[in-house]
Amino acid sequence: MNTALKTHVKALVVGGGAVGTSIAYHLARAGWADVMLLERDELTSGSTWHAAGLLPLFNMNYATTHIHKYSVDFYKMLEAETGLNAGFSVVGNLRMAQTQARMDEYMLYATTAETAEVPYEWMTPAQIKERWPLVRTEDLKGAIYHPTDGYINPADVTMAMAKGARQRGVIIERKWQVDGYEWTGSEWHVTVTKMVEKGGNLVASDETAVIVAEHVVTATGNHAQRTANLLGIKIPAIPVEHQFIVTKPDPALVEYRKTYGEHPVLRDADAKWYVREERGGWILGPYERNAPARFAYGVPDSFRADLFPLDLERIEEEYMSMIHRIPSSETVGLKDDYNGPICYTPDGNPLVGPAPGLRNMWLAEGFSFGITAAGGTGYYLAQMMVEGEAEIDMASLDPKRYGPWMTTEYAVTKNEECYEHVYILHHPDEERPAARPLRTAPVYDRQKALGAQFGQVNGWERPNYYAPAGFDDHDARSFRRGGWWQYAVDEAKAIREGVGLIDATAFSKHIVKGPGATQFLDWFTCNKLPKVGRINLTYALTLAGTTRTEYTIVRRAEDAYYLVSAGAWTAYDADYLRKAAEDKAPEFGYIEIQDVTSQFGVFAIAGPKARDVLNKVIRDADPATALTNKRFPWLSARRIELGMCPVDAIRVAYTGELGWELHHPIEMQTYLWDLLMEAGAEHGLKLVGARAQNWLRQEKSYRAFGTELGRDATPAEADLPRFIDLGKEFHGKDAMVQTGVRSTCCTLLIDGPEDADPWGREALYLEDGTKVGRLTSGGYSVAFEKSIGMGYVRPDLAVEGQKLKVKMFDQLWDAVVTCDSPYDPKNETIRKDG
Ligand SMILES: Cc1cc2nc3c(=O)[nH]c(=O)nc-3n(C[C@H](O)[C@H](O)[C@H](O)COP(=O)(O)OP(=O)(O)OC[C@H]3O[C@@H](n4cnc5c(N)ncnc54)[C@H](O)[C@@H]3O)c2cc1C
């Protein structure tokens, strides 16, 4: 038993790489005393020591953009605080484009960058050539240049953060390995072992201790699989091999540098590499094909601050393209090489936030740009831990975005794919092929035979749209209107004018029941609870009063509820719901929570002829009256029978048309499908995918979770007062009220370019060029025959008729704020009787 080690702390951070060190620093800076960091070896001995240290601001993810931006600003200040120079070379970052599609990508990125105040400039090939003559430019279309980023020394910045942390009272202990976690109900008992050197290896000694910590953060880099095993959870963070090579001095570069400054970091995304200067030579970092995943079952003891052998053959193509782009590098020999593990996740974003199912356990795992992300991750994670919520929406990084269906093989396959895809064109309508199909509804084969082009949501295959045989979705992708656009238009029109069928099986579904259920849900959500047989739209809030989850609640009995929420977020929603119910059961009584997502399929049938189709197959009551407003009014729910299939039907349609959601036993899905297809044939029933649905819901100003609804805006800011019952107490209410309205959600009709619609990432301006907000959704409106979008603007501007501008393709386009629900504002078609 070790006595020198402090054994009671407020927060224990496990892992002394760039990420863990930043978290410890920021927890102390946010005001927590008693923070301890444990590192099994030396600080930076994981992936951090061999990183190339680039700090790319470019990122298509909103949360990550903020994180990277914070890091770059923070690293610049660190020397003043710690006296240690982190070796930040602000040389800029030049991302070159060989194709117009790549320029389109940069232009979409640029408008997002503006929403996060990330500076950039455009450069023509001639301007590049003039400034950096060693770069071949005749086959370039142009470039986007970030003047404020560059590269840093990863070890130095980590040491600077460690010094800053120590100055703020953090205890950093090296050569202590965490070997076990036990939750007592109020604190973690963490078993740690002293590590010693033996024959060049790092091995466990007999010396152990138990540290009692209120909170634990794991930032264990390549050791994430061991951490997952110790915690009894799955963490899809598995490293992939990543190489970079360093050339000998290039005489042309040496000569150039006698007169001029350093080159920016050069990125030729179409050639899949980055290049930067290194002591008169070049560093080439390729993102090549076939880089294998490593350490899926843990890191061997013998692998410390080690590297894998170089695989030059694998990066030959990228090497040749560097020579093409920088001809003077052709005759320069190799000086050094690095092939190290770089942690990945299936979507390339790190896993930051509360661990699934566990209390006071926070993950910060799976960083592939961990040097760039460390500063911001520490800052925002510390906010989540200390204040209960971060100022940006961290949901897209939440570890629970993967559910219990996620396996090791899935993670390996997707992580390898993700690495290879780092520099592909990141079309907003991109769908990645690996590990598919995996989660399929029973009708998958039928849909496929009918031309469904699938997207993947939370592992589920879900039709995006339907196309004729032989159509290739891959070739149809674009930053503008893709080849699929017309199909989505036809589908959207079918719902507005006839009848359409949407597969919504991926919806998250929970049953909440028991003696405590009513009081619990009344506290947990902000709207009034529905009466038995009725439904309500409502929100569960965060501690900060922002939106944690949107629910459609069906009240089946006094104490029995069926909750429907977004398909992408099943485990994320379940975790929050379960933990809250556990906390509140002593006060409210027993609450049972069941995740029934996979037990029920959902078809949404909608359109003016929806009732006609259902009337042909409804059997539990006389079809003449079964679906009338009297028996089945809007916003009600009841059990019906379609043929021989019992269906829990809800009269609601996310498309804003007359319609029903048909929740049915999954094992009867193909039967129900065939029945509806047959009944629908004479009414022209059209199969409709998620893309058309997304457009249609914007015509009704229906906010979507993950875009308009998230943890950076309250339901009041989302402008949903009719779904907030201020007359009752509910979780997050006080914070929501205190927050007030910082910006307001509204719907805009947009006169954009002829061949493009917004994607929901674009910056919004006043006519005089003042930036006033951003879009969170975008698309095309078949009702108004122009682009549509939803977003957040300064509250005084969220008024009907307000003229704004949307930045798309580097130009400002006219937009006007509409009334809420510009299509059918009085909900007449939804309520139609028949
Ligand atoms: C060749 C290469 C080049 C790269 N270039 C860049 C770049 O230019 N820019 C960039 O942003 N990123 C780059 N990266 C990625 C970057 O290295 C990582 O994202 C980053 O280092 C991750 O930091 P971390 O703190 O999460 O993990 P690590 O640095 O791996 O740290 C994790 C630490 O946890 C410790 N640990 C694990 N388990 C335990 C335990 N049970 N108890 C105690 N301690 C434990 C480990 O010993 C380790 O020190 C590169 C990676 C590679 C391989």
The ligand 1 atom at the shortest distance from the C-alpha of residue 158 is 25
Would you say residue 760 has pLDDT above 90?
A: yes
pLDDT digits (tens, 9 = 90+) for 134-165: 999 999 999 999 999 899 999 999 999 999 99
Would you say residue 640 has pLDDT above 90?
A: yes
Rounded to the nearest 5°, which phi and psi values hold at 335?
Answer: -110, -40
Q: Would you say the CB of residue 371 lies under 6 angstroms from ligand 1?
A: yes
CB-based contact 626:632 (threshold 8 Å): yes
Q: CA-CA distance, 806 to 808, in Å (whole number)?
A: 6
Q: Would you say the CB of residue 75 lies under 6 angstroms from ligand 1?
A: no
Would you say residue 115 has pLDDT above 90?
A: no
Rounded to the nearest 5°, which phi and psi values hold at 494?
Answer: -60, -40
Distance in Å, CA 203 to ligand 1 centroid = 20
For residue 437, say if its preceding peptide bond is cis, omega within 30 degrees of 0.
yes
Would you say residue 1 has pLDDT above 70?
A: no
pLDDT band at 210 (very low <50, low <70, confident <90, very high): very high
Distance in Å, CA 56 to ligand 1 centroid = 17
Q: Would you say the CB of residue 221 lies under 6 angstroms from ligand 1?
A: yes
Distance in Å, CA 21 to ligand 1 centroid = 11
Would you say residue 395 has pLDDT above 90?
A: yes
pLDDT digits (tens, 9 = 90+) for 702-749: 999 999 999 999 999 999 999 999 999 999 999 999 999 999 999 999
pLDDT digits (tens, 9 = 90+) for 170-186: 999 999 999 999 999 99
User: What crossing angle do the helices spanning 154-167 and 370-387 adopt, rounded to 10°?
Assistant: 20
Greatest alpha-carbon pair distance for the chain in Å reads 90
Look at phi and psi of residue 825 and say left if phi exceeds 0, alpha if psi is from -120 to 50, else beta: alpha
Q: Would you say the CB of residue 223 lies under 6 angstroms from ligand 1?
A: yes
Q: CA-CA distance, 805 to 763, in Å (whole number)?
A: 8
pLDDT band at 112 (very low <50, low <70, confident <90, very high): confident
Rounded to the nearest 5°, which phi and psi values hold at 29?
Answer: -65, -30
Q: How many residues does the chain have?
A: 834
Kindly state the average pLDDT of the residues 451-462.
96
Q: Would you say the CB of residue 225 lies under 6 angstroms from ligand 1?
A: no
pLDDT band at 305 (very low <50, low <70, confident <90, very high): confident
pLDDT of residue 167: 97
Q: Cα angle vertex 121, ends 115, 123, to 5°?
A: 145
Would you say residue 2 has pLDDT above 60?
A: no
For ligand 1, mutation pick of 50, 159, 188, 220 (most atoms within 8 Å of CB): 220
For ligand 1, mutation pick of 44, 161, 173, 342 (most atoms within 8 Å of CB): 342
Q: Would you say the CB of residue 19 lies under 6 angstroms from ligand 1?
A: yes
pTM value is 0.96
Kindly state the average pLDDT of the residues 368-396.
97
Would you say residue 405 has pLDDT above 90?
A: yes
Lookup result for tokens 């990543």: 242
End-to-end CA distance of the chain: 78
Q: CA-CA distance, 100 to 13, in Å (whole number)?
A: 45
pLDDT of residue 536: 97
By alpha-carbon position, which residue is closest to atom 4 of ligand 1?
A: 51
pLDDT of residue 222: 97
Write down the mean pLDDT value for the chain.
Answer: 96
**Three-class secondary structure of residue 760 per DSSP:** coil
Kindly state the average pLDDT of the residues 87-101.
95
Nearest of 346, 370, 360 to residue 419 by alpha carbon: 346
Q: CA-CA distance, 51 to 152, in Å (whole number)?
A: 10
The ligand 1 atom at the shortest distance from the C-alpha of residue 45 is 49
pLDDT of residue 3: 52
Q: CA-CA distance, 269 to 631, in Å (whole number)?
A: 59
Q: Would you say the CB of residue 52 lies under 6 angstroms from ligand 1?
A: yes
The ligand 1 atom at the shortest distance from the C-alpha of residue 367 is 19
Q: Would you say the CB of residue 181 lies under 6 angstroms from ligand 1?
A: no
Q: Would you say the CB of residue 679 lies under 6 angstroms from ligand 1?
A: no
pLDDT digits (tens, 9 = 90+) for 546-595: 999 999 999 999 999 999 999 989 999 999 999 999 999 999 999 999 99
pLDDT band at 201 (very low <50, low <70, confident <90, very high): confident
